[in-house]
Amino acid sequence: MSRTQFYSSQDIHDLLIQGVVDYAIFMLDPGGHVVSWNPGASRIKGYEAEEIIGEHFSRFYTEEDRVAGVPQEALRTAVEEGRFNAEGWRVRKDGTRFWAMVVIYPIRRNGKLRGFAKVTRDITEQRRTQMEAMETERRFRLLVEGVVDYAIYMLSPEGLVSNWNAGAERIKGYSAAEIVGQHFSRFYTPEDVQTRLPWRALATAHREGRYEAEGWRQRKDGTRFWASVVIDAIRDEGGELIGFAKVTRDLTERREAQLALEQSREQLFQAQKMEALGHLTGGLAHDFNNLLTGITGSLELMKARVAQGRIGDLDRYVSAAQGAASRAAALTHRLLAFARRQTLDPRPTDANRLIGGMEELIRRTTGPEIIVDTVLAEGLWLTLCDPNQLENALLNLCINARDAMPGGGRLRIETSNVMLDDRGGSAGEIQAGPYVVVTIADTGVGMSQEVIDRAFDPFFTTKPLGRGTGLGLSMVYGFARQSGGQVKIDSEVGVGTAMRIYLPRYLGALEDERGQPELVEAPRAENGESVLIVDDEATVRMLVTEVLQELGYSAIEAADGPSGLKVLQSDVRIDLLITDVGLPGGMNGRQMADAAREIRPELPVLFITGYAENAAVGNGQLEAGMHVLTKPFPMELLASRIKEITTRR
């Protein structure tokens, strides 16, 4: 016999009801009074059974529902329809309200109404969540429908438009009735449709979840606009694609503004370049006019004195003309250094040794009012640069420091090894890596930020009129940049200035020092040597030929690269090729020299140039047997270099 046989079906029913705690389950008599009460009812409504049995169930309703007769209407509906279902606010014992799901069943026996069974469930939390979702959806719908700056609409998986907001109508020109159900490719240009761009965009969004792009799109009236487009794939809970959300924004005005801004910037840049060019040419014209006046004036007076037979004063005019010409050469050299187009002779250089050799000159130049300190790092790395240009740069910086301390002060010359990381290199506009740093620091008047920003501009100077051309710092900057380094300024008004030259570390060995030939009486040819001179400037060819012939050399002239190469391809004896780098005729001096060495591998070459592209001389690295002499040069120096080169063979 099973255990349940000891209980009646009514007993089992009562036990089940009494075990439920998530639902309020209770019975009402025909008049609506409570006749039974389960634990779920106590938990949800707050009344114990002894408090509520015999009371009318309307007390669970709100005051406004009782006034409106809602409890009585619920019982009447249950009797008439066999069931009453509803949701609404109900009241607990403590007066708080909860949202209830209510079901009332009429109980009949022998066709006569005996009462009601009532089930109530507290679904306040579910309703709150539902209301929040509905509110979110409502706000989103209002937001989307109210947005006029963005076209926001949905697409089916095939790309058909399924809804349309006010922004889409404003931007694209179609009403919802015209476009819903149409393929979104009609917004694309014919050329984009031809390349299948709309379908590729959907494929990208399907594959990657999102597609983003900018490009031309087309309105209903055929006009085009520049659009920012985002397409997001929409999937259901199972991950199945159910469509796409598409947002388009008209950026035509912004793009036009950006293009206009870029054009304005370009125009401003061009204007600034023209202004800088004006300063450059104006400064050059001013300085060269002064120098040319000294040269031409001296030559005119020499001519007049010779005609008069008064030759006693000629040396004075010759010296004046030579002095002006030397200053013009120095000015051109500085200008080329700023432009990074000077011809350098880079060699492994020990900056400490170079500074030590210049120390006495610097002390004499700065004068007794300036205390000069040298702080030279032990174990300083070598650097590869033109030592003569480094000397000029240091002397320029020391002179600037002296001029910044008119009442005296302290000048410190310091060397150090520095390893720049990527951040430090990018800040200084040079590559990261090891550098030798030479610092010239003074305790002078300092510079404002405005002066620092313009310090390297050609012909910019803060010195009084006649106290400098303004090319000194430009030359230092150009030398450092052409050597693969940089110059950095640290300055504070009233405190002083520190100029730092960064030069790349050289990992090779220090070479034996090569002394500059002394400008003594020019040596003569001894074995009938023959020299080919190639230069497009007839005056230069004439002067070089005159010097060579006076020294016993045979001289052959050519005006361009092809003519010079034709001579070199012949059987004529050539002991030395002297050539300018920049030549007409489609072949520069370096190209001619390289071609000549295919025929005459041991032929020495002397480039005479005042302007040499790095590519023409091998980026500062000349091959064995190739040499450089920078224009202008004394004829005695030319003769010494020729003798030095020809005797090495």
Nearest to 430 by CA among 389, 498, 479, 480: 480
Q: Which fold has domain 147-250?
A: Beta-Lactamase (3.30.450)
Q: Cα separation of 618 and 604, whole Å?
A: 16
Residue type, 281: T
The Cα 642–Cα 107 span in angstroms is 131
Tokens matching residue 588: 């520069």
- Classify burial at 436, counting beta carbons within 10 Å of its beta carbon; exposed 0-12, middle 13-18, buried 19 or more: buried
Query: Quick one: which of 49, 21, 15 has its CA closest to 35?
Result: 49
Q: Which of 449, 456, 448, 451 lies closest to 276 in space, CA to CA?
A: 456
Output the CATH code of domain 530-648. Answer: 3.40.50.2300
The pLDDT of residue 271: 66
Confirm if 446 and 459 have CB atoms less than 8 A apart. no
> If the chain, 649 residues long, is cut into consecutive pieces of 10 residues, what is the mean pLDDT of each piece?
42 52 88 92 92 93 93 93 92 93 91 91 86 60 56 89 85 89 92 93 93 91 91 88 89 84 73 58 60 71 77 75 69 54 72 88 84 92 87 85 89 93 66 91 88 68 47 73 88 90 87 48 69 87 83 88 91 90 84 89 85 48 78 75 75
Our measurement of the distance from residue 262's CA atom to the centroid of its chain's CA atoms, rounded to an integer in Å, reads 16
Q: Do residues 514 and 525 touch, judged by C-beta distance below 8 A?
A: no
Under CATH, what is the fold of the domain 347-506? Heat Shock Protein 90 (3.30.565)
Query: In a 3-state reduction of DSSP, which class is residue 263?
Result: helix
Structure tokens at 391: 């000397």
Confidence (pLDDT) at 372: 92
pLDDT at 277: 55
Q: What is the pLDDT of residue 92?
A: 94
* Predicted pLDDT at 558: 92
The confidence score (pLDDT) of residue 612 equals 47
CATH assignment of 3-128, among 3.30.450.20, 3.20.20.140, 3.10.620.30, 3.40.50.10490: 3.30.450.20
* Closest listed residue to residue 414, CA positions, set 400, 394, 399, 433: 394
Tally of CA atoms within 13 A in the half-sphere of 262 that contains its CB:
6
Q: What is the spatial distance between Cα 364 and Cα 354, in angstroms, rounded to a whole number?
A: 16
Pairing of strands 382-385, 496-506: antiparallel
Residue 577, pLDDT score? 93
Query: Reduced to 3 states, what is the DSSP secondary structure of residue 440?
Result: strand
Q: What's residue 634's pLDDT?
A: 73
Is residue 301 a contact partner of residue 320, using CB atoms and an 8 Å limit?
no
pLDDT value, residue 447: 86
